[in-house]
Structure 1
């Protein structure tokens, strides 16, 4: 596959992607959207998600580009290497010599057993940024009692605190709909890679970068940490409410559901006027956000009772742009929303074996001078070859293409 010429801010950055499933591929997907040349290094069997689907009937007879794979591997290239063989490992080291970044999400110890640990690869390329994403991190950053445990999204959501505060009041814990236990760690790892690449450009020094899924989800749930520290409480599921803001909820309308977040006094006044309840503005129970939080049951009863008799579209027409509100959209609603089309958040890509493209989510990161974008479909397994790739990367110059000062410090002044 010929990947479109990059124009993003990471144009020229060369990434070797050893990841599979969701968390790691989401990291390298972000890098590819931002212009990096990302090459998936796959075993002969390929990434496990290639055949997971969903698959459109009649498309992709080889079942190599299911929706799961397409979504987070778009704009990448693919080479096949058996890293368990001496020849495959040797070819990989050749690629490392001219690469900027290696990203992997193997279980702890796998790369060491292959003779491809960070320390081994740093001897080949001292500028290399080596990024690892595991359930419980890497011992280089801090040994975990769970270091050897496998982990998936739902495990990270559970152990990191997210599931314990999600769900109906008084109900059981619940995971999120999207795989945030994968996606948020993957996003943080992309940020960490960029910071490490910046350091390598300035100093010529590569480094090991580590994100644990558990740690990332805990960071995402930062509120429970300070609540427990300040108040000694153990936060539990709160439904769609908020412990510190009111009204802040998802409520049922006459024909659907709508999110309402109006904790400021001005927003509460606008809601009171819309409900034809001016008395609520000066009511001591609702006079400020703290009072509304203390009487949140009454807030929900009054606001929820009014919303239950209103069509969603009427509420949006009356309050949109005046109060933070939004309808609860399903996928069909999103596909018909002008916003996502104007913002290029639904992108069509080629589906091999079909004349009809498929749609995947676009890049939410926008730049004025160096646009990010989806740079094409996901690669077929082994669609690229190591030899031509090596020639291309070697011709493009040293990793990072930066000459650090002799003292390792290129700060101005």
Structure 2
């Protein structure tokens, strides 16, 4: 048994935040029915530059972007602009435990697929709306994209090299973190609502906003401002409260050294051949190293750049000084620990036979994640799902196909 194998999710979301949430639910065992537009599907199926190729024809197939967020789901194609399509989705929602959608504010109301409409059909329904700015407030009608949210939510103000240095200026994260974190927070909210339903017997509405998530995820940077009334600044790879805690040059690249306490600093000083740093009043404690950041960082850099990455990491690990390389993605998957943890999986795929996939980080001892279903082809499960969930026979399915409803 898997943790959520008694839960049915109607997934009306697309792109990343919503599909990331529903992929988590599928990994935990939920039956996730991904609803897509006939002939088109989720926008990300076409988001390159990396695509699968049809093994038989060589034609371009689904993108790697789509594959990243849709493992474990069943795809059905339904035209919700038609009355018949709207009724199909209402009937599916009446049997579902969860609906996830990321349409613009009020976008599903005209189809009778909003929470107020569906909760009348299914009072036990947990309904999660994901938007850029939430259901209330002056920005609620706006479209919200990850890049915009990283800027508006403060992340870019604390990401990037310091002003005045080469390459200085705000930077977005290299992954759409606002989307990914919103998918994770949405998963948590849905699980909480399902647990509440065990007690109350009723579902509820969940209002998730990318901006809310991004502001919450500022973590200590936000409380630095709220408590101290000081606006955090970009520090490149440095840390606002700990020194040395950044990347340092080596003869063949860079190494991260993350000294978390004065004892670790003493070990670092010994390894770099400067035991006098331990008693130097400028460097002996973290608070003093903060005041003399430029001096100690320059001194450490002079020593690290004479060592290779592998030599320095091996030496620091022996002394139990936290450190690590800055890996490219190929080196990530070649890392022996990553391999030992099984972070690359193979999943079945109807068009390709099998596909490589990144493992879920959720490790449950009694109800583990299984990898028995890969990302679905567009509309791959339409007939099967509608037959199983709504009892449609072959004649009914043929009629809906002929009308272009499914």
Q: TM-score, normalised by structure 2?
A: 0.90
Q: CA deviation at 1:149?
A: 1.0
Q: Which runs of 5+ in 2 are unaligned?
A: 392-406
| CA-to-aligned-CA distance 1:209-242 (integer Å, 9 cap, x gap) | 1111011011111223222223322222110111
Is the CA contact 1:224–1:235 (under 8 Å) kept in the aligned structure 2? yes
Q: CA deviation at 1:11?
A: 1.7
1:62–1:92 distance in 2 versus 1, CA, 3 Å: farther
Structure number with greater CO (CA < 8 Å, separation at least 6) is 1
1:157 is matched with which residue?
150
1:388–1:109 distance in 2 versus 1, CA, 3 Å: closer
Is the CA contact 1:39–1:76 (under 8 Å) kept in the aligned structure 2? yes
1:15 is matched with which residue?
9
Q: What is the distance in 2 between the residues matched to 1:389 and 1:303?
A: 65
Q: What is the distance in 2 between the residues matched to 1:353 and 1:105?
A: 28
Is the CA contact 1:246–1:289 (under 8 Å) kept in the aligned structure 2? yes
1:62–1:48 distance in 2 versus 1, CA, 3 Å: farther
Is the CA contact 1:95–1:390 (under 8 Å) kept in the aligned structure 2? no
> Given the alignment, which residue of 47, 52, 68 partners 2:42?
47
| CA-to-aligned-CA distance 1:45-96 (integer Å, 9 cap, x gap) | 2111112231145648564422111111011101111111111111111111
Q: CA deviation at 1:126?
A: 0.3
2:27 is matched with which residue?
33
Q: What is the distance in 1 between the residues matched to 2:85 and 2:66?
A: 24
1:3 is matched with which residue?
none
1:16–1:56 distance in 2 versus 1, CA, 3 Å: closer
Q: Does 1:328 align with 2:321?
A: no
> Given the alignment, which residue of 339, 342, 359 partners 1:362?
359
Q: CA deviation at 1:389?
A: 4.7
2:401 is matched with which residue?
none
1:97-108 equivalences in 2 (<5 Å): 97-108=94-105
Q: CA deviation at 1:122?
A: 0.3
Q: Does 1:68 align with 2:65?
A: yes
1:383 is matched with which residue?
380
1:61–1:145 distance in 2 versus 1, CA, 3 Å: farther
1:169 is matched with which residue?
162
Once superposed, what is the RMSD of the aligned Cα atoms? 1.9
Is the CA contact 2:52–2:62 (under 8 Å) kept in the aligned structure 1? no
Is the CA contact 1:35–1:372 (under 8 Å) kept in the aligned structure 2? yes
1:3-402 equivalences in 2 (<5 Å): 7-44=1-38, 45-53=40-48, 54-56=50-52, 59=55, 61=58, 63-138=60-135, 143-170=136-163, 171-320=168-317, 322-354=320-352, 357-385=354-382, 388-389=385-386, 391=388
Q: TM-score, normalised by structure 1?
A: 0.88
Of stretches 169-178 and 312-321 in structure 1, the one that deviates more from structure 2 is: 312-321
Is the CA contact 2:53–2:59 (under 8 Å) kept in the aligned structure 1? no
SS for the counterpart of 2:44 is: helix
Of stretches 382-391 and 263-272 in structure 1, the one that deviates more from structure 2 is: 382-391
Q: What is the distance in 2 between the residues matched to 1:189 and 1:178?
A: 18
Q: Which runs of 5+ in 1 are unaligned?
A: 1-6, 395-413
Q: What is the distance in 1 between the residues matched to 2:59 and 2:100?
A: 27
SS for the counterpart of 1:251 is: strand
Q: What is the distance in 1 between the residues matched to 2:161 and 2:244?
A: 17
| CA-to-aligned-CA distance 1:111-147 (integer Å, 9 cap, x gap) | 1121211010001110000001100011xxxx22111
SS for the counterpart of 1:269 is: helix
1:401 is matched with which residue?
none
1:162–1:274 distance in 2 versus 1, CA, 3 Å: same
Number of matched residues?
Answer: 383
Q: What is the distance in 1 between the residues matched to 2:213 and 2:385?
A: 38
Q: CA deviation at 1:320?
A: 2.3
Of stretches 171-180 and 366-375 in structure 1, the one that deviates more from structure 2 is: 366-375
Q: What is the distance in 2 between the residues matched to 1:384 and 1:278?
A: 67
Is the CA contact 2:99–2:126 (under 8 Å) kept in the aligned structure 1? yes
2:397 is matched with which residue?
none
Of stretches 174-183 and 313-322 in structure 1, the one that deviates more from structure 2 is: 313-322
